[in-house]
Amino acid sequence: MGLINSTQLKIKEAQIIMLGLDSSGKSTLLYKLKCNEVFLTEPTVGFNVEMIKTSKDMTLTIWDVGGQQKMRTAWDNYLEDTDCLVYVVDSSDKRHLEESKKELELILRHDSIKNVPVVVLANKQDLPGALSAEEVTEKLNMKKQCQNQNWSGKQWISKGCRPSTPLAT
């Protein structure tokens, strides 16, 4: 049996946590990634988790945690040991952007998240009036959030998406 190099193991597997307000589209994205199909979803009670093999032979374990207000207190429990945070925003729901921003602020204060990359997904780009990825990250004040946390070198990416188009893994 060959020796397993822990560095190799580390890059072959990643834990990803997907958070965001309810109805931002997390479960739709999860099942699009898993099955390449758009399913009708129900509000998530608790969480969904799927393991997804990528074309680069990596295994991603993606946690999709319910975003309803009463479930947000449990988000902290999922932040330990995560390799990446994907924060999903409904770009067409301007009424809830401020709430989404506040929730993201709370998450980013968490110690476990300090050294992990953050991806902001500006979802629902197909809907009329949806803000662009740049506008969403501006509204979420990402630059300032990184400065507040003394994360000048922190990497964050913003990406517009809609699950009806193929998502590359």
Ligand X SMILES: Nc1nc2c(ncn2[C@@H]2O[C@H](COP(=O)(O)OP(=O)(O)O)[C@@H](O)[C@H]2O)c(=O)[nH]1
- Two structure tokens written together for 104: 């993201």
What count of other Cβ atoms lies within 10 Å of the Cβ of residue 102? 11
Interacting stretch for Mg ion, rule CB under 5 A, among 19-27, 97-105, 126-134, 145-153?
A: 19-27
User: Distance between CA atoms of 117 and 40, rounded to whole angstroms?
Assistant: 30
Contacted entry of ligand X, Mg ion, none for residue 91, CB cut-off 5 to 8 Å set by kind: none
User: Distance between CA atoms of 110 and 80, rounded to whole angstroms?
Assistant: 9
Query: 21-50 mask for ligand X (x: CB under 6 A)?
Result: -xxxxxxx------------x-xx------
**Sign of the CA dihedral with 25 first, then 27, 30, and 31 last:** negative
Shortest Å, Cβ 44 to ligand X: 5
Helix (H) or strand (E) holding 63: strand 59-65
Q: Does 124 interact with ligand X (rule: CB under 6 A)? A: yes
Q: In a 3-state reduction of DSSP, which class is residue 107?
A: helix
68 given a catalytic annotation: yes
Shortest Å, Cβ 32 to ligand X: 9
Q: Which residues are annotated as a binding site?
A: 20-27, 44, 67, 123-126
Binding site for ligand X (CB under 6 A): 20, 22-28, 41, 43-44, 67, 123-124, 126-127, 162-163
Give binding residues for GTP as ranges: 20-27, 67, 123-126
